[in-house]
Structures are given as C-alpha cells and as structure tokens.
Structure 1
Amino acid sequence: MLKTLGRSVYLTQFEEQRASLSAFAAGGAPVFISLHISEEFDAAYCARVQEMCDFLAAQGWRILADVSEKTVRQFGCADLTALAKRLHLWGLRLDYGFSLEEMRALAQQLPVAVNASTTTPEVARQLAAGGGTVIAMHNFYPRPETGLDPEFLHESTAALQAEGLQVYGFIPGDALLRGPLYKGLPTLEAHRTAAPSAAFVDLAVNYGLDGIFAGDPEVSAREQEYIRHFCTTGELCLPVALRPGYETLYDRTFTCRPDSPKGLVRYQESRLYSCFGSTVQPDNCVERRRRCVTMDNIGYRRYSGEIQLVRADLPADEKVNVIGEVPAEYDLLLDCIKRGKTFRMVKVQ
C-alpha cells in the first residue's frame, strides 16, 4: 500500500509553499523539484535553489530532482553525483540527453527515475538488470486535453512493472495551482477536475501506481487528511451530502458487500448502523442518478434500512429514498470501492 502523498515544490512559488512544507515533519516523504525550468533562471538561481534544498532536507523531505546535463553546468559541479551531494538529493529524474549506459551507471550510486511514457519494456529490462534503484515516472500535463488516456496509463504502467520498475505519477492540487495555465497538473487527463484524494485513490487502486505526487504546489488540508487516512488504514473517505435526519451515518465504517453488483455498492452494515429498522418511511423517492446514496423504505419490508451507493443511473422507485449525493469531483471514488473493501462517508465541507 502507498504510504504517503509526494509533493512538488517550485522555486518561484517556494515562499508560498514554505509554511505548509514545515507544518509537520516530513519523515522521509518524497518531494519533486525541477532544476531546468528556464523561467526560473536568474543571477541568484543557484543560491536560491541551494537555500530551498537545504530547507527541504532539514525538514526531512526526500528530494527527487528533475535534471539534465545542462543542470550540472549551471551549478558548476563535476558531475550529477556531486550535484546530488551538494543539494541533498535522494534521486535524479533524468529528463533527456542520457544514454542507457549513463543511466545504469548513475543508478549504481543513487535512485534514478526515467520517463515512464517513453521508456520501452526492453530498456526497462536492461535498466532493472543493471542493479541499483530505477523508477519510471510519468509526466504531468499542464495543458488541458493533453493528459494520458486510461488505456495508455494502464498498459505502460503494467509493462514497466512487469520488467521490475516501480512506476510513479501525478495528481492535481486544489489549494494552490501552478501557472501559467492554472488548470491542474495531472498525469491522467480524466483527473484534471477531480478532487486530489479521488485522483490519488484512483491511481492507487485502479492503476496500481507505486508512488504518487501532487503536481500542483498545494493540496488542501482536508484532501491531505483523506489521503493520509487511506494510506494508513486502507479505508476510503467518501464525501457525501446527506439529507437532514441521516447524519448519524457519517464517519462509520462500511463494507462493500462481496456480492454487490457492478451498478451498486451495497452497504454490508446497513441495518446495523441505520437505526431505522422497519420504520423508514417513504421520502424523496426520486430518480436515482449515479453518485446518489439511497435507503430502502418500508415498501421493501425486511430490506427496510438497507443502503446503496448508485454507480449506474436508475429510475425512481417509491420503495427507495434518495438520502444523499456524492459531489461530482469525487465521482472517481465510486469505481474505487471494491467488493469486500471498507469505506466511510464523510461530511462535505
């Protein structure tokens, strides 16, 4: 299971990020930086990068830096190994201009990340066979409509993992976005407007990624808490706006019944937690759209009080009350709740 959300830090926004980065001890959590963003270059560039990396290392962040051969010249170092030592880098994400032999040699000295979208299974096999730590890392995509398709992400990730490489990717932020487009920095195009926690769980559960970073500078405290809860317990947090009278269902652990059909999540503990028993009266018996939470009323007799999360549009039923709805930005979570897995409904904030 993934242990934490990685962060991305940008030199031009570092001062805006500093407070949240120092809010808690990172404890070895990963952070991604880029050392060849041309618009960041100025006379004080190297000194500013040094100060940023000194800070990140002191806070306990494990720094993975995007580099090129130009980076070595920029800092006046003998080689990338010397640069890594100077800037407290844990690993190097090799952008371009490196041969297979150079990548294998570097991997003997420190972790190396290659481009997951362009590295072939054959190259991955040779890199893995060379020893050391080699990671494949998908890009993030600032321009809308250019992010990866689900099929490509599935296929490329599975192919590289089969050759022995761990695969990383990015999700968008929600509290502070990266310019100049401010349209999120996801790996997968379908995640561009999703809540960070929903994108994180989707990459972990449905794509099997080994490491996940926020591409944008900031993720809200609420979303970070949802991600932390998932990483530490395996339990998914599902934000829901429940109707008045049903709030007692918040913050209780539910299990997706092992026999749930594709179009519904059936709550295994429904009647245990509902406290309504056979007294659920008909109320709000409207169309059951995807993302609706429903409760069977007395029309279903002994099934009264059973709860479902709707994953496929269904017509209205006088025996079924619609008691809440999942916001659109968390839609991805509906397909992350697998049979036999636990989740909890949390109040929409």
Structure 2
Amino acid sequence: MFNNSLGFAVYVSTFEQQKPILEKLTGSNAYVFTSFHIQEEFNNSYTLKAKQMCSWLSKKGFAIMGDVSPKTLEQFGHDSILDFAQHMGLSALRLDYGFDKEEIIKAYDKFSIIINASVEDSSIVEVVSPKQEVFAMHNFYPRPETGLDSEQFDSINQGYKKKGGKVLAFIPGDDVKRGPLYEGLPTLEKHRYISPYEAYLDLAINYKIDGICVADVRLSNRQLELIQSYISKGVISIPTQLTLEHEYLYDTVFTIRLDSPKSVKRLQESREYSCSGKTVQPNNCIFRETGSITMDNKLYGRYSGEIQILKTDLSKDEKVNVIGVVDEKYKNILKCIKNGAKIKFIAG
C-alpha cells in the first residue's frame, strides 16, 4: 500500500470539494485517511454521508484507512470495531485514544491496524509483527507551534523502523486549508508554511517515511504534479530561473556527483553536456548566494562547463559564472539533494 506513495486525508464536511483531485487518482490504488470521530462534523446526516463517502471511494479503487475511537462506535451504533470496519468498507483501522493495548492486539488477529505513532509505544510492534505488517501513523497538528520537532520525530520513527514497522506522516496542502484554524495540518512543525512538494521530499528523502498523506482539504495541481513526477521517475524537479542563454538546461536529467561536498552539489554530466564544444566565456561573475546555479568558465581550464548548485554562500570568483538561481519559494529542496541523486531544472 505504501512506498513513498502519496495519500490524502478526506473529510465528510469537505468531501465534495475534494472529489476533483481524487477523480484524477481513480484506479491508482492510492490510499485515503479519514477520521470518524471529529466532533464538529457530527450532525443528523453525518452517518449517512460518511457511508456514502466510503462507498464512492471504494468504487474508485481507494484503500480507506479509518481513524476510530469508542466515540465512533457510539455514533454509528456498532459494538465492534471490526464490524464497523467491514460495514464501511475500510482497508485498515487506526485506533485512537480509548483503546488499550490488549484491544489493539486482539484486533490485529483479524484486520490491518495502524498504530498511532505519536502516542503509542513502539514495543507493541514486537507483539503484533509476527501476525502481519505493522503500520504506525503520526498525528497532524492544526495549532501552530504544536507540531513535532525533528529530533522528536526521528526518535519515534527509529523505534518503529528498528522493529520492522512502517511509518506514515502528514504534510499540509496549499490550495484549500482546513478549518477552523486554516494554518496547515503538518506532522512536523517546520513543514507548516513551506510548499507541500518540499515537505514531501523532506519526509521521503531525509526521514525515509513510507507513506505520506496530504492532511488539508486540497492540493494544487502544480504541487500534485511535482510530487507525482518524483514518485514515478525518482528525479527531483528543481524550480529555477535560468538565464536566457542557459534555458537549454531545463528538463535535462543530471546526476549529483557522489563525491560532492556539503557546500556545493556538482552535476556529473555537466562538463561534457554544458560546453557543447563551445568555450565558456567569463560572464556574470558575482557573489554566489545559497541556491545559485553556477558554471565554471574557461579560466578554470579543464573544469570549464561544470555546473554546481550552491548550498551555502560563496564569494564571487572570476572563474565562475552565475547562470541561474533556485526559486526562492523552493529553497528547502536544497536540503533534500543528496550525492547520487537525479535532478532536473524546471522553469520556476
């Protein structure tokens, strides 16, 4: 079900708004996450609408992960969480507050259960893993300043991964935020105000998260395309502004040299490709700020034509031309570019 795949959180109250983007993923076996115990969504028609939503999603081929609590069973009139799951056509259950460890372990005998990674001790993995694969999903955090910090997040994840569990987490959307705060719904606090694409890459590359889910109501087409491109091709698209003379570099796939230092990422194929048999004359030899894209000129001899992406500020050098810059809105991507990665520049 997972493997750096992209999922979506859906809500009964906003489902009609979310249908257009979900339609695009029909038949893709993508997964969706929904909570059946959001108090503010409860009304006289909630139970019927929730059933209709799950029916639509099932017919479109989505795997539905349902977040449930004892409150859910009361609302839907079920005595058993397993009966509820079967009635709603769910693929997996995430048991939230109100279920003790014994109940979770018992449920694992008959159904795929997703542990609440943010609050449940990872020791449960050792108990249930002989029965089936274990998934641990983090919470998302609507209130600013309450999302997890990096060290906390990584520590929790390592506990699960060392015991064979798979970890899932949330990123915010950018098109329509979910109320009542409309401040994004990230797992990691540092992702609250960056683009979903950057947040996705950070989780997939730096934290090696198995499943990543958009928690807000809608994701823009631009962000969806960027994420799906990475998922399908394994190439990091970097929105940039290249000088007119160097626009021929757009959409060409390059490899980051394995021996690149932390401060600059060297493009392995660039010396041969960029020169195209022409001498690179000194031009625009200015201060090189973080995110600059540079090309060595003829004064660097055999290095002439080499392209680099700067991850730190460097002083100007008469032997180095600045030929472009990473789009300011996407500079967090620099933290995701590892040695050996495949990248391409795209028009910002």
Output one character per residue of 1:265-290: Cα deviation in whole Å (capped at 9) or x when no partner.
10001123214555222222222111
Q: Indicate if the aligned counterparts of 2:290 and 2:311 stay in contact, CA closer than 8 A.
A: yes
Partner of 2:177: 177
TM-fit CA distance, 1:4: 2.4
Q: Deviations over 1:137-168 (max 9, x none)?
A: 11111122221111111111011111221110
- Opposite residue 59 of structure 1, the aligned amino acid is K
- 2:251 and 2:322 map into 1 onto residues whose CA distance is 19
Q: Distance in 2 between matches of 1:290 and 1:119?
A: 40
| CA distance 1:276–1:316, shift in 2 (3 Å) | farther
1:332 aligns with 2:340: no
Say whether residues 1:316 and 2:342 are aligned partners. no
Match of 1:123 in 2: 124
Residue 175 of structure 1, CA deviation:
1.6
1:237 is matched with which residue? 237
Given the superposition, is the C-alpha separation of residues 137 and 189 from structure 1 closer, same or farther in structure 2, using an over 3 Å criterion?
Answer: same
Instruction: Compare 62-71 and 134-143 and name the one that shifted more.
Output: 134-143
- Aligned partner of 1:91: which letter? A
- Provide the C-alpha distance between the structure 2 equivalents of 1:158 and 1:56, rounded to a whole number of angstroms: 33
Aligned to 1:163: 163
Extract structure 1 runs of 4+ deviating beyond 3 A.
Answer: 275-278
Distance 1:255 1:84 in 2: 46
What are the equivalent positions in structure 2 for 1:25-104 lying under 5 Å apart? 25-104=26-105
3-state SS, counterpart of residue 5 of structure 1: strand
Secondary structure at 2:37 match in 1: coil
Unpaired stretches in structure 1, ≥5 consecutive residues: none
> Could you say if the C-alpha distance between residues 78 and 119 of structure 1 is closer, same or farther in structure 2, counting changes exceeding 3 Å?
closer
Q: Distance in 2 between matches of 1:274 and 1:65?
A: 51
Q: Which stretch shifts more, 61-70 or 269-278? A: 269-278
Residue number in structure 2 paired with 1:292:
292
Give the match for residue 270 of structure 1: 270
In 2, the alpha carbon distance for the partners of 1:178 and 1:286 equals 44
Q: Which deviations, in whole Å up to 9, do the C-alpha atoms of 1:271-318 show, x marking residues without a partner?
A: 232145552222222221111111112222322211000011111222
Cα gap change, 1:142/1:120 in structure 2, threshold over 3 Å: closer, same or farther? same
- Decide whether the 8 Å contact of 2:5 with 2:210 is kept in 1: no
CA distance, structure 2, for counterparts of residue 316 and residue 152 of structure 1? 39
- Distance, in Å, in 2 between the alignment partners of 1:152 and 1:140 is 14
Counterpart contact for 2:167–2:209, Cα < 8 Å: yes
Partner of 1:19: 20
Moved more, 188-197 or 85-94: 188-197
Q: Distance in 1 between matches of 2:199 and 2:234?
A: 15
- SS state of the match for residue 6, structure 2? coil
Distance 2:308 2:121 in 1: 43
RMSD across aligned positions (CA): 1.7
The range that moved more, 37-46 or 111-120, is: 111-120
Deviation by residue 1:15-39 (Cα, 9 ceiling, x = unmatched)? 1111221134243211011111111
**2:224 aligns to what?**
224
Aligned length in residues: 347
Q: Determine helix, strand or coil for the equivalent of 1:179.
A: coil
**Any gaps of 5 or more consecutive residues in structure 2?**
none
Q: Could you say what secondary structure the match of 2:148 adopts?
A: coil
Q: 2 CA distance for matches of 1:225 and 1:275?
A: 31
| Closer, same or farther: CA 276–297 of 1 in aligned 2, 3 Å | farther
Cα distance in 1 between the residues matched to 2:236 and 2:38: 36
Q: Scaled by the length of structure 2, what TM-score is found?
A: 0.95
Q: In structure 2, what is the Cα distance between the partners aligned to 1:19 and 1:296?
A: 46
With the length of structure 1 as denominator, give the TM-score of the two structures: 0.95
User: Percent of aligned pairs with the same residue?
Assistant: 45
Q: 1:3 to 1:122 in 2, by over 3 A?
A: closer
2:9 maps to amino acid: S
Whether the 8 Å contact between 2:294 and 2:308 is mirrored in structure 1 is yes
